[in-house]
Amino acid sequence: MRYSQTFIPTVKEVPSDAECVSHRLMIRAGLIRKVASGTYCYLPLGWRSLLKIIAIVRQEMNRAGAQEIIVPSMQPKEFWDKTGRSDDYGPTMFKLEDRHGRMNVLGPTAEEVFTTLVAGEVKSYKQLPLNLYQITPKFRDEFRPRFGPIRSREFIMKDAYSFDDTPEAVHKSYMAMYNAYCRIFTRCGIEYVIVEAESGEMGGSGSHQFTIPCESGEDTIVYTEDGSYAANLEKAAVDPATKEKSSGEIPAPQDVHTPNVGTIEAVCGLLKTRPRDMIKTLIYAAGEDVVAALVRGDHDLNPEKLTQTLGGVHTDLADEQTIEAVTGAKVGFAGPIGIAEKVSKLIIDHSVAAMASGVTGANKTDYHTKNVVPGREFPLEGDNVLVADIRYAEQGDTHDGRKLLFKKGIEVGQVFKLGAKYSVKLGAKFLDENGVEKPCLMGCYGIGINRILASAIETGNDGNGIIWPISIAPFETLITCANQDDQEVAKVADGLYQQLLDAGIEVLYDDRIMRGGIKFKDADLIGIPIRLTIGKKSVAEGNVELKLRRESRSENLPIHQAADKTVELAASLKQELLNKPRP
């Protein structure tokens, strides 16, 4: 492609709402332009790169035995009502009414449509296993679209759905995807880590996330230094605390007047105590039930862990009315004493169970209770009482005795074992060898195509611009002609351009008639991996300058060798990516 004929609108200034380096560089290098909050046009460089990522994803999915199809983005809302997910997704799901008054959704994902499709076609175990996927736009009305393509409202996702007859077969399908994901991210040239993840409301039994460690990531990876454990923050399990010893007999509980003091900090100020000596009592709506959960005052309850402890039920903080009905007090004064009788379940975090005593709400407006001893004032066991890990991991926590470390990352993909949740609700059943009807066991597997692009840039850049992995770079090679207005130089550059095209190299030829300095700045900014530079001096010497974008040194090659050398170099850069060890 001749630069003079392309649409690569590079810019110096970036809008102030671009919050991370990849977002800024994608605008500056002319890869994207914003249309509205969380929606973007992908211009030629950006789209070329996305197409390359898509090609890698497609190739590896096909290799793993998955088959590509395409289903509508606009889906009947009733599909989502059947699984209850139109409520669960809430305002994140775009809904639209058609001219007949029927409600549709713009798919944020597609379990419902794929499962319904399979329900209509699959009758026998002989038709399984089946793995179907698509690479299509998805729509999510994110609460806070940010970081450009990393959290946008319309993005391209590869989503795959597997259908199997036995748990062993599910595991095989799951591992085929897991391994395909490793190959995909390796080939895309991004440094990733694999962490255990919560399957939460997806309803399944196992999940892994593929995450790119980087400061601007919105996910937190929790891991041990020896690499024996890595999970995301929602999943990361912590060792139970050891039981605290009290210095003597703890006096009987005592109510204290704490008027209008409903927050942990305020109570601590008034009672001269520390958050870690307080017990928070949180009332949750869990499906049709109301449950109470206890965590230490300095800890945060992890709703994903709570959901998991309750067997995958959707949980939400209860509304004011429910809280007041359960506790008999205004919000802010809930406490554990007597609460087990008022709720369907009392879940107590390990570190609360380990406390010698604590300060709690008194279930009486404007009162707290001191000297509350877990196991004495409220039960630690019983039919509806459970001690479990329901808080977020924190600095200082351990897992299997090893210290937990934390770092930020961008989630680029996730794989789930889903079990039979969707197939039961949507009727995807098969007859087994003995003619017994069973629901299909499912897995689902997502990859954010745009997030791969953004995280490659987020982790591959310097002060001057993008440094692409060759496999997903918009072009493999850039020819910069520093003296395009010199006929002889231009002729050599034109010739080299043709040679590279003939050799099958994806080449961008900067044939613009402008100062070399500007061209070099653009070259750094758009970051094409292999660079060939031709100018008056090099032509006079019969040479062309070869340089990799990621390195500062360059070498001179005889012009007639340049094409062959470029082909060789492109192949070896791709091979280098493949040789990287898997995490």
Chain residues binding ligand ATP by CB under 6 A are 109, 140, 142, 151-152, 155, 157, 411-414, 446, 448, 450-451
Tokens matching residue 96: 């639209």
Interaction of residue 211 with Mg ion, rule CB under 5 A: no
Q: How many residues does the chain have?
A: 583
Q: Are 69 and 133 in contact (CB under 8 A)?
A: yes
* Closer residue to ligand ATP in complex, CB, 296/451: 451
The site partner of 151 among ligand ATP, Mg ion, none (C-beta below 5 to 8 Å per kind) is ligand ATP
If you compute the radius of gyration of the chain from its CA atoms, what whole number of angstroms results? 29
Q: 391 touches which of ligand ATP, Mg ion, none (CB within 5 to 8 A by kind)?
A: none
Residue 412 interacts, among Mg ion, ligand ATP, none and using kind-specific CB cut-offs from 5 to 8 Å, with ligand ATP
Contact criterion met (CB below 8 Å) for 375 and 356: no
Least separation in angstroms between CB 183 and ligand ATP = 17
Quote the least distance from Cβ 443 to ligand ATP, whole Å.
Answer: 13
448 interface partner picked from ligand ATP, Mg ion, none, CB below 5 to 8 A per type: ligand ATP
Contact partner at residue 430 from ligand ATP, Mg ion, none, CB < 5 to 8 Å by partner kind? none
Q: How far is the CB of 411 from Mg ion (least distance, A)?
A: 5
Residues in contact with Mg ion, total (CB under 5 A)? Answer: 1
Nearer residue to Mg ion within complex by CB, 155 or 430? 155
Please provide the DSSP assignment of 58-112 as one string: HHHHHHTT-EE----SEEEHHHHHHHTHHHHHGGGSEEEE-TTS-EEEE-SS-HH
Give the Cα separation of 509 and 484 in Å (integer): 11
Hey, is 367 helix, strand or coil? strand
In sign, the C-alpha dihedral spanning 136, 65, 207, 457 is negative
Q: What are phi and psi of 441, to 5 degrees?
A: -100, 130
Looking at 83, 307, 414, 471, which residue binds Mg ion (CB under 5 A)? 414
Residue 442 sits at the vertex; the CA angle it makes with 438 and 444, to the nearest 5 degrees, is: 170
The least CB distance from residue 156 to ligand ATP, in Å, is 8
Pick the stretch among 180-188, 348-356, 408-416, 553-561 that binds Mg ion (CB under 5 A): 408-416
CA distances from 71 to 66, 166, 167 (A): 15, 26, 27
Beta 441-448 vs 402-419: how paired, if at all?
antiparallel
Least spacing, CB of residue 385 vs ligand ATP, in Å: 32
CA–CA distance, 293 with 113 (Å, rounded to integer): 36
State the distance between the two ends of the chain, measured CA to CA, in whole angstroms.
37
**67-75, 328-336, 414-422, 454-462 -> range binding Mg ion (CB under 5 A):** 414-422
**Count H helices, E strands: the chain?**
16, 32
φ, ψ (nearest 5 deg) of residue 368: -120, 165
Q: How far is CA 444 from the centre of its chain?
A: 14
Q: Lay out the site mask for Mg ion across 264-293 (x = CB under 5 A, - = otherwise).
A: ------------------------------
Residue 118 binding partner per list Mg ion, ligand ATP, none, with a CB distance cut-off of 5 to 8 Å that depends on partner kind = none
Alpha carbon distance 60, 180 (integer Å) = 6
- Residue 90: is it exposed, middle or buried by C-beta count within 10 angstroms (0-12/13-18/19+)? exposed
Q: Which is nearer to ligand ATP, 310 or 412 (CB)?
A: 412
Q: Which residue is nearest to Mg ion (CB)?
A: 414
Query: Do β-strands 154-164 and 130-139 pair in parallel, antiparallel, or remain unpaired?
Result: antiparallel
* Least CB distance to ligand ATP at residue 130 (A): 20
Report the distance separating Cα 117 and Cα 109, nearest Å: 15
To the nearest whole angstrom, how small is the minimum distance from the Cβ of residue 68 to ligand ATP?
Answer: 17
Q: Which is nearer to Mg ion, 235 or 519 (CB)?
A: 235
Q: How far is the CB of 447 from ligand ATP (least distance, A)?
A: 6
Closer to ligand ATP by CB, 218 or 541: give it: 218
In whole angstroms, how close is the CB of 416 to ligand ATP at the nearest point?
A: 8
Give the one entry of ligand ATP, Mg ion, none that residue 28 binds, where binding means its C-beta sits below a cut-off of 5 to 8 angstroms depending on kind: none
Kindly state the smallest distance separating residue 27's Cβ from ligand ATP, in Å.
17
Residue nearest to ligand ATP (CB): 448
Stretch near Mg ion under the rule CB under 5 A, chosen from 57-65, 97-105, 369-377, 410-418: 410-418
From the list ligand ATP, Mg ion, none, pick the one residue 450 interacts with, judged by a Cβ distance below 5 to 8 Å according to partner type.
Answer: ligand ATP
> Smallest gap, in angstroms, from Cβ of residue 249 to ligand ATP?
48
- Residue 446 vs 465, nearer CB to ligand ATP: 446
Q: Helix H segments across 415-478?
A: 421-426, 449-459
Instruction: Tell me which residues touch Mg ion (CB under 5 A).
Output: 414
